[in-house]
Amino acid sequence: MRLGGPFYVRTKKGDNMTEDIFEAIKQDPQNASYTKNGIDPLYTAPKTAKILIVGQAPGQKAQDTRLFWNDPSGDNLRKWLGVSRQEFYDSGKFAVLPMDFYFPGKGRAGDLPPRKGFAQKWHPQLLAQMPELELIILVGSYAVKHYLKRPTKETLKTTVKNYHDYLPKYFPLVHPSPRNRLWLQKNPWFEKDVIPELQKRVADLLE
């Protein structure tokens, strides 16, 4: 069952500015090959959103099913957030803006990185359409590097461990991929200290 309908920027019919941005993304020459093949940008930016999740880029399954975070990584992310699938997809409280709105393809060691310059071009326009945002959750190194402008020598682990330095606006996280299971085992402080604080802040915003 697919929850919440089509997952892109359209939050309601008649929202002209939101529709215009969506069409502009599709018509951008950078995305011409996707549009030609009938592939729309995958993201959502409801005006009622309280929480924004910035990740890397849709995976192949997400793009094929038109449902972002529709994989084991998404299951782990929702567990970390302390929310159900229905809350995540249907509440109107969550926005999802990946660093690239299209699946970038496969590389030797997993998915290719998001295209450079994509988030810089489109995120500000979409953020301006979400006046109720209170928390931006940054998932993984690409999102953290873009939004926090952290020192180049600082590791993602250090940034996440010091998450409180970026509150109340930003909350950095490692990626919830099952591939990070060993990292989680080696860093028990993450699930012991970071996740409870994340869940508390999310719960407060969903009240």
At 16 the pLDDT is: 65
Identify the segments of the chain with pLDDT beneath 50: 1-14
> pLDDT at position 73, please?
94
On whether the pTM is more than 0.75, the answer is yes
> What's the pLDDT score for residue 150?
78
Query: Is the Cα dihedral 77, 46, 140, 163 positive or negative?
Result: negative
Note the pLDDT of residue 5: 36
Q: Which pLDDT does position 17 carry in this prediction?
A: 75
Domains of the chain from N-terminus onward: 16-206 (3.40.470.10)
Q: Answer yes or no: are the C-beta atoms of 11 and 18 closer than 8 Å.
A: yes
pLDDT at 13: 44
Tell me, what's the pLDDT at 56? 95
Question: Exposed (0-12), middle (13-18) or buried (19+): which is 93, by Cβ within 10 Å?
Answer: middle
pLDDT number for residue 92: 95
Predicted local distance difference test score (pLDDT) of residue 18: 83
